[in-house]
Structure 1
Amino acid sequence: MKKFLALFAVIVFLSSCSEYQKALKSEDIAVKFVSATKMYEAKKYNKAIRLFEQIAPAYKGKPSAEKMFYIYSQSLYKTEQYYLAGYQFESFVASYPKSEKIEEASFLGAKSFSYLSPVYSLDQTDTYKAVDKLQNYIDTYPEGQNMVEANLLVKNLREKLEKKAYENAKIYNTISDYKAAIVALDNFIINFPGTPYKEKALFYKLDSAYLLAINSVPSKMKERLENAKGAYSSLIKFKADTEYKSKADDMLARIEKDLKQFSK
């Protein structure tokens, strides 16, 4: 019995392969569509894609085009070809606005772009695109079945953009461009008022203001020392028990000592 089942499986496999090869060589797009659909249903997505690529240009406008482009998009998504999947899902939404699959296609198209988002240290153009597309899904389908996941994806992507913005601002402190650091960190705090990086941003603003002040020419030192003292106050006001308290107090002591020379 086992030998019979194994033989049967081999026959089915060979028959399937033969049918697929014939479909690849066929000039009949209907034959290709039937075979591609079978490949998709058998989860042989790469084979399905190869056939869909052959017939997609000729299938536009045909009665079964909606189904074809939907499973073509799904095949690309399931093989993690996210750039192409995103493009095909968006094209599907634009072409079939009354489709019962439109919400799912809108979500998967947007989600495809979220997979293209790189680590925070790299250029975040694709992250911004993903946020815009997911937000568009959220706005269009406020009661959508994928709303929870869409909101979570947006939250994660925005956190990445926030970290990128913080690191971009902090880098000026790292390279000793203290004036630029103060401006960049101020802008970061304004743009992300609830950020978990606020304490760090306030400290590096203080550090930048302090180092700028103590290394200034005499004519600019007093004003810069006072600015640094204000940066210290902002940090302590935000979090009195900041993890940077010891370093900040040392800076304040030096600031107040140097300010004394201007009160004589």
Structure 2
Amino acid sequence: MKKIIILISMVIVSASCSEYQKVLKSTEAGEKYVLAEKLYNEAQKENSKSKYRKALRLFEQIVPHYRGKPQGEKLGFLFADTYYQLGDYYLSSYEFERFQQSYPNSERVEEVVYKKARSFYELSPGYDVDQTDTHKGIAELQAYLNVYPDGEYTDRANDMASELRIKLERKDYEIAKQYHLTGEARAGNYQAAITSFNNFLANNPGSPFREEAHYYRFDSAYQLAINSFRELMEERLEEALEYYQDYKKYYSEGKYSEAIEASVEDIKSHLQNF
């Protein structure tokens, strides 16, 4: 019985593949449309990448044929969404944009605007490389939120936009921190770190990296001061104390409190010489 079931399954699969190849080679756009939609629906139910790929091959052949026709709107969405489901986000963002421009009054336009934005979110790389797609993702997500403040995807869009903003903040923070970490080898980098942290704190008032930025700004100023010529040291020590006060103002019991207090004692010891 088991062998019979396997044999029947093989026959069904073989027949299905044969039908697909026949339609794929056919010149009948209508047949391709019907089978492509069928495969797309089955792919959705089964979460089948292979069926999405089969549907895509058919969509690619017939989309130009149906542009401007009544079926074009539905087909345009299925085409873009198939790219999206397959993780080809460059092409999905392009096709969703094309759909939005062609059918601005479609009942699917909210979903299209969201998925276009999410395509750029998915394309956003790690924080340490070029962030063009991250900026694009934020802009597209904000565009969705502006038009659909109470939309179906609003909560998720807000979360994704916040995640991308934090990624940009981390990039700026890590650049400033790198200046700090290389300051011992190149003293001028401590000054660059202070400037970078000042800019970071001014531009990112709600960042999760603020405590670290306050601390490393202070430590950069401290390291710069104690390694300065005597005629510059007093002023720089006083500046470091100002950054210490800023840290204590916001993080009176912060995770760097012990380290910062030890440095402040050393600052006060140096200042006694003046």
TM-score, normalization: structure 1?
0.91
The question of whether the paired residues in 2 share the 8 Å contact of 1:19 and 1:35 is answered with no
What displacement does 1:84 show? 1.3
Equivalent in the alignment of 2:47: none
Q: Does 1:68 align with 2:80?
A: no
Contact 1:120 1:163 in 2 (8 A): yes
Match of 1:200 in 2: 212
2:245 is the counterpart of 1:229: no
Alignment correspondent of 2:17: 17
Question: What TM-score, normalized to structure 2?
Answer: 0.88
- The amino acid of 1:34's aligned partner reads V
Deviation per CA, 1:16-58: give whole Å up to 9, x if none.
2222112222223223222222221221110111111122233
RMSD: 2.0
Aligned residue for 1:87?
Answer: 94
For residues 3 and 257 of structure 1, the distance between their equivalents in structure 2, rounded to whole angstroms, comes to: 88
Question: Who is 1:147 aligned against?
Answer: 154
Cα distance in 2 between the residues matched to 1:249 and 1:2: 76
Other-structure match for 2:39: 39
Count of residue pairs brought into register by the alignment: 262
Q: CA deviation at 1:181?
A: 0.3
For structure 1, the residue ranges without an aligned partner over 5 or more in a row are none
Deviation at 1:203, TM superposition (A): 0.9
Match of 2:159, SS state, is helix
The share of aligned pairs that are identical, in percent, is: 45
Any stretches of 5+ residues in structure 2 without a counterpart? 44-50, 184-188
Cross-structure match for 2:254: 242
1:132 counterpart = 2:133 = no
CA spacing shift, 1:5–1:245, aligned 2, 3 Å: closer
Provide, for residues 52-109 of structure 1, a one-character-per-residue CA deviation record: whole Å limited to 9, x for no partner. Answer: 1122233321221111111111211111212211211121111111111111111111
| TM-superposition CA deviations, 1:189-224 (whole Å, max 9, x none) | 111112222221111011100111111122222211
Query: CA deviation digits over 1:198-253, x for unaligned, max 9?
Result: 22111101110011111112222221111111111111122222222222222222
| SS across alignment from 1:216 | coil
- Given that 1:77 and 1:85 are in contact with CA atoms closer than 8 Å, whether structure 2 keeps it comes out as yes
1:167 equivalenced with 2:179 (yes/no): no
Q: Which amino acid aligns with 1:38?
A: K
